[in-house]
């Protein structure tokens, strides 16, 4: 999350619970009302204390999939490229790159002034090693797809890396934002397939802006600024990630000024519980659209939902604004499709289905669902009533409320819905994966690249694949294939706009809303400027003026 760099991961993550670390984009709506953000002289020092709801899984981020590990890893490691504030690829350890004319060969020129934290020089050998480790079947890296498409990687000299592909791959450059691993520390472990047991996994060295200092499992992780970081020494001298497994406690620590940053407040915390002078003085609150969306998904295998008119009826029965107001206290924006709002591939110029219960009933009647016995519920020709179960995971209050409101709205159009809340692991394994559901309420993250092949392509409907609704449309299939294989942005924009239009009409799911990210940062920290890629993208430029520094930097 820090400085939002691509890492060949999470195009789309099914958001498990809550809004932890919702990544972010779009314009800021509100900044601090008090406390100086602009001005002040940059100064080195101070400690920045973050609360983390879970402990890190390990310190080789390529092996982990949890948010905390990637946040910490992003400070310690760097990739060849990073994503800038507008989610464009930008140089990091590579100073430049060039494509061959056919988009099949990609050549990176590496910086010569990059050193590992132990003083050894960083070279193309490390990049080669990272690639080989990623594709090694013995490496349990959850995100290696991007590397499996690579045909060959070569290092003609210590500061040049040449990558070749069999066919053009739209996300090729982004893939190389993956964290580069130190060959001299890991080679034997990578070959033996015992990376998880290597010292690097508990005491890592990297090339990033912060050096690892300490990890007390379950308690805290401490990093210190790297004085000779190649892009300039970061101002904040030390970062402490405190593991606090309770949201309520994190919030109290905020109120007592025990932590300096929270990645996202809840709606009620943002709107009510932090609106008092002392809090406004101590913290800067931010609000901008997050990166994921919440949806009501249909199982298209179910003959009832295979009928477009039924899906349209449901879309007309649900009042999105009511959900946004009721569930998010208005702190969300209506979603019209799966692409991250504000990014280059996004469009909201698509078909919409305003709240209209009468129209919904008419559509149901057209599909053969009418109230034949006057009990207020609709039945099919054989008198079988339209009943279904809305399923979602336990422990997510927003989704529970959405289910309840939807239940009520469906009743208005004569559909009897029950609600079932299921523990996350069981929910995914027993219901979502085998597609044993009728309607689910879930969230999906929209990644940094608009390629959503795996979510919408008809070839991805298998039990362990991500096309959970079972959506299939030949035109979308074709566009997804084109979009994935092109390295020309103008073409890709056209493909993805068309995909969003079709999805909005086909309604494999009802896109409800994109929740706002609501982070807070201590007021003494200057230089914070949220952008489409989130709030931490320029973390190394944050600083606390000398006279406002609160802690030593270790």
Query: Under the rule (CB under 8 A), what is the footprint of other proteins?
Result: 8-14, 16, 47, 49, 55-58, 60, 63-65, 69, 137-138, 140-146, 148, 193, 196-197, 201-202, 216-220, 240, 242-246, 248-249, 252-253, 255-256, 258, 423-426, 428-430, 452-455, 460, 464-466, 551-552
Minimum distance from residue 394 beta carbon to other proteins (Å): 12
> Whole-angstrom Cα distance, residue 191 to residue 202?
19
Pairing of β 520-522 and β 292-298: unpaired
* Encoded tokens for 350: 């698509």
Minimum distance from residue 45 beta carbon to other proteins (Å): 14
Shorter beta-carbon distance to other proteins: residue 244 or 323:
244
Minimum distance from residue 426 beta carbon to other proteins (Å): 4
β strands within 416-536, DSSP E = 416-422, 439-445, 509-517, 520-522
- Residue of 7, 9, 3 lying closest to 210 (CA atoms): 3
Minimum distance from residue 354 beta carbon to other proteins (Å): 32
Angle, CA 207 vertex, CA 215 and CA 546 arms, to 5°: 75
Minimum distance from residue 194 beta carbon to other proteins (Å): 8
Minimum distance from residue 404 beta carbon to other proteins (Å): 24
* Kind plus residue range of the DSSP H or E element containing 183: helix 183-192
Minimum distance from residue 244 beta carbon to other proteins (Å): 4
* Encoded tokens for 179: 């964290």
Minimum distance from residue 254 beta carbon to other proteins (Å): 10
Contact 486, 251 (CB under 8 A): no
Shorter beta-carbon distance to other proteins: residue 16 or 421:
16
Shorter beta-carbon distance to other proteins: residue 252 or 308:
252
> Whole-angstrom Cα distance, residue 178 to residue 157?
21
Minimum distance from residue 64 beta carbon to other proteins (Å): 4
Angle, CA 146 vertex, CA 64 and CA 133 arms, to 5°: 55
Q: What is the Cβ-side half-sphere exposure of residue 175, based on CA atoms within 13 angstroms? A: 23
Shorter beta-carbon distance to other proteins: residue 116 or 551:
551
Residue with tokens 């990739």: 79
Minimum distance from residue 278 beta carbon to other proteins (Å): 10
Shorter beta-carbon distance to other proteins: residue 229 or 453:
453
| Helix ranges restricted to H, 439-535 | 453-456, 474-485, 489-506
69-99 residues labelled b (16+ CB within 10 A) or e (exposed): bbbbbbbbbbbbbbbbbebbbebbbbeebee
Burial class (CB in 10 A: 0-12, 13-18, 19+), 377: middle
Shorter beta-carbon distance to other proteins: residue 202 or 416:
202
Minimum distance from residue 437 beta carbon to other proteins (Å): 15
Shorter beta-carbon distance to other proteins: residue 464 or 490:
464
**Phi/psi at 102 (nearest 5 deg)?**
-90, 10
387-412 residues labelled b (16+ CB within 10 A) or e (exposed): ebbbbbbeebebbbebbebbbebbee
> Whole-angstrom Cα distance, residue 403 to residue 421?
10
């Amino acid at each position: 999350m820090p400085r939002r760099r691509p890492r060949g991961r999470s195009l789309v993550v099914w958001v498990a619970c809550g809004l932890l670390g919702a990544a972010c984009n779009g314009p800021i709506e509100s900044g601090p009302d008090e406390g100086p953000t602009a001005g002040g002289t940059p100064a080195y020092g101070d400690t920045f204390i973050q609360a983390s709801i879970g402990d890190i899984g390990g310190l080789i981020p390529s092996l982990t999939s949890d948010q905390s590990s990637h946040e910490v890893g992003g400070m310690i490691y760097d990739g060849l490229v990073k994503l800038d504030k507008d989610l464009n690829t930008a140089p990091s350890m590579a100073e430049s790159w060039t494509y061959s004319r056919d988009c099949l060969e990609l050549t990176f020129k590496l910086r010569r002034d990059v050193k590992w934290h132990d003083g050894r020089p960083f070279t193309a050998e490390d990049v080669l090693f990272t690639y080989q480790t990623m594709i090694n079947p013995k490496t349990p890296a959850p995100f290696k797809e991007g590397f499996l498409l690579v045909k060959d990687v070569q290092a003609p000299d210590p500061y040049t890396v040449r990558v070749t592909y069999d066919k053009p791959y739209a996300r090729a450059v982004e893939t190389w934002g993956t964290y580069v691993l130190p060959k001299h520390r890991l080679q034997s472990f990578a070959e033996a397939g015992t990376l998880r047991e290597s010292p690097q996994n508990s005491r890592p060295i990297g090339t990033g802006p912060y050096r690892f200092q300490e990890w007390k499992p379950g308690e805290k992780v401490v990093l210190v600024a790297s004085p000779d970081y190649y892009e300039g020494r970061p101002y904040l001298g030390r970062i402490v990630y405190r593991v606090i497994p309770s949201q309520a406690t994190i919030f109290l620590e905020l109120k007592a000024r025990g932590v300096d940053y929270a990645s996202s407040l809840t709606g009620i915390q943002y709107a009510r519980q932090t609106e008092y002078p002392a809090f406004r003085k101590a913290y800067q609150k931010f609000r901008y659209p997050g990166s994921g969306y919440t949806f009501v998904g249909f199982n298209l295998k179910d003959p009832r939902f295979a009928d477009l008119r039924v899906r349209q009826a449901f879309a007309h029965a649900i009042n999105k604004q009511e959900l946004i107001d009721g569930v998010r206290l208005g702190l969300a924006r209506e979603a019209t499709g799966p692409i991250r709002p504000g990014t280059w591939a996004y469009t909201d110029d698509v078909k919409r289905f305003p709240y209209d219960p009468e129209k919904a009933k008419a559509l149901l009647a057209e599909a053969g669902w009418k109230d034949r016995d006057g009990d207020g519920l609709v039945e099919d020709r054989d008198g079988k009533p339209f009943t279904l179960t809305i399923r979602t995971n336990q422990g997510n209050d927003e989704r529970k409320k959405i289910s309840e409101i939807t239940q009520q709205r469906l009743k208005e159009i004569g559909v009897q819905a029950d609600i079932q809340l299921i523990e996350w692991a069981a929910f995914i394994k027993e219901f979502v994966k085998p597609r044993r559901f009728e309607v689910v309420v879930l969230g999906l993250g929209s990644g940094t690249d608009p390629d959503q092949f795996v979510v919408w392509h008809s070839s991805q409907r298998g039990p362990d694949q991500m096309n959970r609704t079972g959506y299939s449309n030949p035109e979308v299939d074709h566009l997804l294939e084109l979009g994935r294989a092109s390295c020309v942005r103008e073409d890709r924009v056209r493909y993805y706009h068309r995909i969003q239009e079709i999805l909005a009409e086909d309604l494999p799911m009802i896109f409800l809303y994109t929740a706002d990210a609501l982070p807070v940062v201590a007021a003494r920290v200057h230089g914070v400027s949220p952008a489409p890629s989130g709030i931490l993208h320029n973390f190394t430029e944050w600083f606390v003026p000398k006279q406002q520094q609160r802690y030593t930097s270790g």
